[in-house]
């Protein structure tokens, strides 16, 4: 489960934040579905930061952050690409609504699933005041100036529009505009222009244009927009629109000047959903823009409210995918790539083949066990699938005789980047470089992880700046960050003296931190925020956690005494701190002035709530979610992300959702903030 979560977090970051997908959608969907199944079976092992409990993605540092008034939630993906996918969704809806077999069909809205960048447009008193990306669903990026350059998006609404209106939709680039843009780029390159390039696909180009720091550059990109929903709207009692159906709301948005796809239509029951899916599938290649499926939504807003949500997704909507595209080609060789988390991935070097709209010359084989299972060897003819935007995969080998003996591929014993030992944990399929902070392939990720808000919180140290620092050999390890000077930073691309000074100020402020933040920032495998807090609370001091003995059994035994630390996590911590280069990094960070308060081990302090499992939901009157969690954990309670029969209490505030319903269903005691404070005071 932890491995799946790590993969999903990494893939989500690449797709939503970096606009550089690392796996096809079909692979992500399969991993997500596998994790959902495991969490349903073992609900006690679901952390609050599981991908199933939150919307994927995160805001970039280069733009101001915007907290969405109404979260931009994702919808469930139906990975069954056949007609039965629509039937499954309709059956689930009818079951949730309690409809009998002879009841009339449910009315749906069928829409295209555009392949672009989700945007929230906020209008106040008829004027566009803010545009924000989806980000992590709760917090996005302010891209107002860039969005204003898109001609299809109205800057002013008619008089009958409500005082507050948030319109949600997709910014995209049509295939024709994308081709024209690339043609202009090729002309510039041919004329000798420096720094110019052609673009890979419309989706990434549109997302990159929206995230340009200079709106003038965005204005040169031919972007388009389709509206498909809404966020905050002035309530009916205050003069807002009285929408009864989703389709009527879309027609109203169209009347206010927003483009709504002509392919959006009503569908009665599963039969018409199937017909829509098949119809769009036949014309998919002829559409003027890219899509990666269709979306079904229950039309009645009253029924939507009745159906509600399950964790991160509405029960009343689903995305229905299409089959992946495949071709045959030959394996010329098998190479090994080292990822940002140290994972070693075998990659098939292919005889170039055109599949999924691009020429593919490399395809992932995932891991050694998957490679062996598929029986791939150099010289084989294989089927390559490209189900997403970037990384294709080898599906399998085309049966046929091999004309000569070809040895099985073997994973190297040492990292091809840094030479550190390659390891594989028990019952895990992936091989990893043990170099950690020392390995150049992992360096960028290590720095970004260290600098993130929940770790050392270094303002201004974002993706693009880290790329320059690492690629220019300015920063080779974490302590080098604290040796940066104003001159070296100011010399970097897009770094004026003021921006450079802001980064230095952020670094200076980060020197004073807490032990849990520092531990989490080191990026030790399996050590998340909660485990870092448990380690700091149990040992009290970093030296005690690092341990003076190289004796693995003794060190692991001590670590196993920590709350929620099992054998795999204990071995990962021991291995990390027994690497000489990792210990050196820690000592150098201390020498650079990074410090925190240490104290006595918390094992000596009473933990009256030990053994209790508490779930937090909704907004409490005075306590923030993190503050309440900290109080509970300090008292020994475990704070879980979902409600089960083993939950001791649910603490519910305003706008509590499905967790409160689940607690009532299971008979779990429910507390308000006053009840929580009384529990803590016992």
Closest by CA position to 453, among listed 22, 147, 131, 138 = 138
Specify whether the CB–CB gap between 304 and 401 falls below 8 A. Answer: no
Specify whether the CB–CB gap between 73 and 313 falls below 8 A. Answer: yes
Task: DSSP letter for 15, please.
Answer: I
Q: Spell out the alpha helix ranges (H) of 260-386.
A: 269-283, 301-307, 368-374
Closest by CA position to 428, among listed 370, 497, 491 = 370
Helix (H) or strand (E) holding 336: strand 325-338
Q: How far is CA 69 from CA 171, 267, 620, in A?
A: 20, 31, 17
Specify whether the CB–CB gap between 52 and 311 falls below 8 A. Answer: yes
Task: DSSP letter for 293, please.
Answer: E
Helix (H, G, I), strand (E, B) or coil at 243: coil
Please state, in angstroms and rounded to a whole number, the distance separating the CA atoms of residues 182 and 188: 10
Specify whether the CB–CB gap between 224 and 173 falls below 8 A. Answer: yes
Backbone angles phi, psi at 325, to 5 degrees: -95, 140
Specify whether the CB–CB gap between 240 and 162 falls below 8 A. Answer: yes
Q: Which of 41, 58, 113, 646 is catalytic?
A: 113
The count of residues in the chain is 682
- Residue 505 corresponds to which tokens in the numbers above? 């100020």
Question: Given the structure tokens 């447009």, which residue do they identify?
Answer: 121
Helix (H) or strand (E) holding 385: strand 381-386
Please state, in angstroms and rounded to a whole number, the distance separating the CA atoms of residues 516 and 541: 10
Please state, in angstroms and rounded to a whole number, the distance separating the CA atoms of residues 536 and 562: 10
- Residue 679 corresponds to which tokens in the numbers above? 């529990």
- Residue 459 corresponds to which tokens in the numbers above? 């303002």
Spell 89-125 as b/e; 16+ CB within 10 A means b. bbebbbebeeeeeeeeebbbbbbbbbbbbbbbbbbee
Question: Given the structure tokens 């002509």, which residue do they identify?
Answer: 262
Task: DSSP letter for 300, please.
Answer: B
Please state, in angstroms and rounded to a whole number, the distance separating the CA atoms of residues 675 and 680: 9
Per the rule left: phi > 0, alpha: psi between -120 and 50, beta: everything else, 436 is left
Please state, in angstroms and rounded to a whole number, the distance separating the CA atoms of residues 390 and 280: 23
Backbone angles phi, psi at 212, to 5 degrees: -65, 140
Backbone angles phi, psi at 34, to 5 degrees: -65, -40
Angle of CA points 487, 492, 498, to nearest 5°:
60
Task: DSSP letter for 623, please.
Answer: -
Cα atoms in the Cβ-side hemisphere of radius 13 Å centred on 484: 32
Among this protein's residues, is 113 annotated catalytic?
yes
Backbone angles phi, psi at 304, to 5 degrees: -60, -45
Specify whether the CB–CB gap between 526 and 569 falls below 8 A. Answer: yes
Please state, in angstroms and rounded to a whole number, the distance separating the CA atoms of residues 682 and 540: 25
The residues annotated as belonging to the active site are 113
């Amino acid at each position: 489960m932890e491995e799946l979560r790590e993969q999903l977090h990494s893939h989500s970051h690449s797709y939503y934040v970096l606009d550089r997908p690392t796996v096809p959608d079909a692979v992500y969907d399969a991993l997500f579905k596998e994790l959902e199944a495991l969490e349903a079976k073992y609900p006690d092992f679901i952390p609050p930061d599981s991908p199933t409990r939150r919307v994927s993605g995160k805001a970039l540092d280069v733009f101001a952050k915007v907290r969405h008034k109404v979260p931009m939630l994702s919808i469930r993906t139906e990975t069954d690409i056949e007609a039965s996918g629509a039937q499954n969704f309709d059956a689930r809806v009818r079951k949730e609504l309690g409809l009998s077999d002879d009841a009339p069909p449910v009315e749906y809205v069928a829409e295209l699933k555009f392949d672009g960048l989700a945007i929230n447009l906020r209008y106040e008193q008829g004027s566009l005041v803010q545009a924000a990306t989806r980000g992590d669903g709760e917090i996005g990026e302010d891209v107002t100036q860039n969005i204003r350059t898109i001609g299809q998006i109205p800057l002013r609404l008619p008089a009958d529009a409500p005082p507050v209106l948030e319109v949600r939709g997709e910014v995209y680039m049509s295939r024709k505009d994308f081709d024209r843009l690339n043609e202009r780029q090729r002309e510039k390159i041919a004329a000798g222009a420096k720094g110019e390039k052609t673009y890979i696909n419309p989706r990434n180009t549109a997302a990159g244009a929206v995230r340009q720091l200079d709106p003038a550059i965005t204005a040169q990109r031919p972007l388009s927009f389709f509206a498909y929903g809404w966020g905050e709207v002035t309530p009916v009692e205050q003069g807002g629109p009285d929408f009864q159906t989703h389709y009527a709301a879309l027609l109203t948005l169209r009347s206010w000047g927003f483009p709504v796809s002509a392919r959006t239509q009503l569908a009665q029951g599963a039969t018409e959903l199937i017909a829509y899916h098949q119809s769009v599938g036949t014309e998919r290649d002829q559409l003027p823009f890219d899509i990666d499926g269709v979306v079904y939504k229950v039309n009645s807003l009253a029924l939507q409210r009745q159906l509600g949500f399950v964790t991160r997704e509405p029960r009343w909507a689903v995305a229905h995918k299409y089959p992946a595209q495949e071709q045959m080609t030959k394996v010329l060789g098998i190479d090994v790539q080292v990822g940002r988390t140290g994972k070693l991935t075998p990659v098939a070097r292919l005889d170039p083949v055109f599949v999924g709209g691009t020429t593919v010359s490399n395809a992932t084989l995932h891991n050694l066990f998957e490679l062996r299972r598929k029986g791939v060897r150099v010289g084989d003819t294989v089927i390559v699938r490209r189900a997403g935007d970037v990384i294709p995969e080898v599906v399998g080998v085309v049966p046929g005789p091999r004309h000569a003996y070809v040895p099985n591929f073997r994973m190297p014993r040492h990292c091809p980047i840094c030479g550190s030992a390659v390891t594989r944990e028990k019952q895990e399929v992936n091989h990893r470089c043990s170099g950690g902070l020392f390995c150049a392939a992992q360096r960028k990720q290590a720095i970004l992880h260290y600098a993130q808000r929940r770790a050392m919180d270094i303002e201004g140290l974002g993706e693009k700046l880290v790329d320059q620092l690492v690629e220019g050999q300015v920063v080779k390890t974490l302590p080098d960050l604290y040796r940066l000077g104003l001159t070296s930073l100011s010399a970097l691309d897009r770094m004026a003296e003021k921006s450079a000074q802001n980064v230095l100020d952020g670094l200076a402020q980060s020197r004073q931190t807490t032990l849990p933040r520092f531990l989490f920032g080191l990026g030790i495998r399996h050590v998340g925020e909660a485990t870092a807090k448990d380690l700091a609370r149990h040992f009290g001091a970093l030296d005690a956690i690092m341990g003076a003995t190289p004796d693995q059994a003794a060190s692991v035994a001590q670590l196993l005494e920590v709350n929620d630390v099992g054998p795999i996590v204990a071995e990962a911590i021991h291995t990390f701190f027994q690497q000489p280069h990792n210990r050196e990094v820690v000592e150098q960070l201390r020498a650079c002035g990074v410090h925190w308060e240490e104290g006595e081990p918390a094992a000596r302090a009473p933990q009256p709530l030990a053994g209790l499992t508490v779930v937090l939901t909704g907004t409490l009157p005075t306590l923030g979610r993190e503050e309440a969690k900290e109080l509970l954990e300090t008292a020994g309670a475990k704070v879980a992300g979902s409600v089960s029969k083993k939950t001791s209490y649910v603490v519910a505030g305003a706008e509590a959702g499905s967790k409160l319903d689940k607690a009532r269903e299971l008979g779990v005691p429910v507390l308000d903030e006053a009840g929580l404070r009384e529990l803590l005071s016992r």
